[in-house]
Structure 1
């Protein structure tokens, strides 16, 4: 880990003045974030006419079933392809934050479901290992992942026509992460309202918000290589578990 660059050390009074100036910027950022969120909610919608089918713990279901009686559905596109033994480290990092949020979202007209391209049976052992409780379904056999631009075909990779995050992609990965949002009205019609990818997923990672508050920040000069599946971290030197 890199050390923190030397910082000016001042009196408490000087620190308070600097902090108050920074607070002005923080409040301006908050107002801009609220404005951006309002713009997101005002985006036009696209009606979903295709009958996507998924395989999950409740058997075969369509997109409407995933709403589970709510009018709003958030789907996290988890990178787990056929033949994989483990899920993506980054998607696992995001998914570690889902169960806590779901305790509240489920009571506020929102269903949050995770979808992967691999057959259902292939990610059950990994899910059990991670201890996650959220609903996780397979889109194998449907166009869902391709239509929402998180699975790139071998042909697209070969001929350079792949797109990701609304632009031409140079990725060599066939599976990519993302999040999509849907709305279901009283007539049962379903609409796609929003999708985000890449750094747009940062908002889902509460750990990053903690890191951003610290002197070293995210400390990711080598990207997310520091992130592990949560059962693969080595215990830090000198620390003990609470019950040891």
Structure 2
């Protein structure tokens, strides 16, 4: 269905009205960002070990000499032949951001439960260069509530996105931020789940500007792994 067609003057008036709401949203977003920066930190007490191309690495070792770390909790479980399509869509935005983040004291890396060999096979297929490690055999994914046990899945109720979630599935997406102090202590400063992971989906920001918007029948049903588009 076509929108109303109006004169240039009427279009400008409507656009200026929307601009005021956009400015309000920008100020609200800035305020929320300030509150996010003021959140308390959670000390990481467990000694998580990740499998990487350079051998076993601790969580502190993932910072790669920087003081801040962003982790994409990438849905890729042991036994899966390939990574989740929506997480792959997110990851398609990572390499471009990484150059800038690395030069602003931030390391960004993906973490999945799949064995490292499976991760590397998929990463090479997709052509990505960002760091990606395996948490296979550790509690990391479970502690950060992005992976769930068979018993939790069977119950039909999982503790995801800071509350009860009446959906099932062994893997769910997320993004977490950490900081490391001069003593080498690591703290979680932020985690986001559900639609919060759209922070990594710049494509959506562009789609939101287009006449048809996201044009989705159901969630991300149009998204494909980038080597699967026709």
TM over 0.5: yes
- Residues 1:21 and 2:2 aligned together: no
> Which of 1 and 2 has greater Rg?
1
The corresponding residue for 1:148 is: 144
The corresponding residue for 1:231 is: 227
TM-score by length of 2: 0.97
SS of the residue corresponding to residue 137 of structure 2 reads: coil
Q: Is the 8 A contact 2:76 2:83 kept in 1?
A: yes
The corresponding residue for 1:129 is: 125
| CA distances 1:85-111 after superposition (whole Å, capped 9, x unpaired) | 111010000000000000100000000
SS of the residue corresponding to residue 60 of structure 2 reads: helix
Q: Is the 8 A contact 1:76 1:180 kept in 2?
A: yes
Shift, 1:158, TM fit: 2.7
> Which runs of no fewer than 5 residues in structure 2 stay unpaired?
none
The corresponding residue for 1:111 is: 107
| CA distances 1:103-129 after superposition (whole Å, capped 9, x unpaired) | 100000000010000110112221111
Q: Is the 8 A contact 2:52 2:116 kept in 1?
A: yes
After TM superposition, what 4+ stretches of structure 1 lie above 3 angstroms from structure 2?
none
SS of the residue corresponding to residue 226 of structure 1 reads: coil
Shift, 1:222, TM fit: 2.0
Residue number among 172, 177, 194 corresponding to 2:173 in the alignment:
177
> Which runs of no fewer than 5 residues in structure 1 stay unpaired?
235-244
TM-score by length of 1: 0.92
How many residue pairs match? The answer is 230
